[in-house]
Copies of this chain bind each other. A is one copy, B any other.
Amino acid sequence: MEPKIEEKLLLKNIKPTPMRQLVYRMLTQEETALSLSELESKFDKVDKATLYRTLKTFEAHQLIHSIDDGSGSIRYALCDEDCTCRPEQLHLHFVCKICQKTYCLKEKPIPQPDLLDGFTYESANFIVKGVCPSCQK
């Protein structure tokens, strides 16, 4: 499982430093999108600034995507293998009002919005709030 991480980074033209491999591994272990601080607290000890820059690098190379779920902080989740972060590939995000977790619903594409004349569409962010399966009943 592990030997591949280095290659995943290389595939996206990211130099696979130990730090980056560590962060990548951590991200693969999460089923929900994490904020910088949440991610920080998953480690015994990391520098927030380094983590921050690592995430920025990952995002710039489309290894992860960021989600603004309205909580006030941005969350990050791994992109799919073939993701190019283009509008057609954008998916819904779901925020549970109980556990506050942010889920990527990768199989649920964002519907093409119906806009008024004069507005052009480039990208979108569709956040749904409700209760997630693990918090039901």
Contacts and interface: CB of A to CB of B under 8 A. Distances in A.
Interface stretch (A3-11, A14-22, A122-130): A122-130
A120 B133 CA distance: 8
Given A68-B68, A70-B68, A125-B70, A120 B115 contact: no
> How many copies of this chain?
2
A111 B130 CA distance: 15
Interface string A94-110: 10010000010101100
Interface residues of A, number: 33
16 contacts: A70-B125, A94-B115, A105-B119, A108-B116, A111-B111, A117-B133, A118-B136, A119-B128, A119-B131, A120-B136, A121-B130, A122-B129, A122-B130, A123-B129, A124-B127, A124-B129
Interface of A: 68, 70, 72, 92, 94, 97, 103, 105, 107-108, 111, 113-133, 136
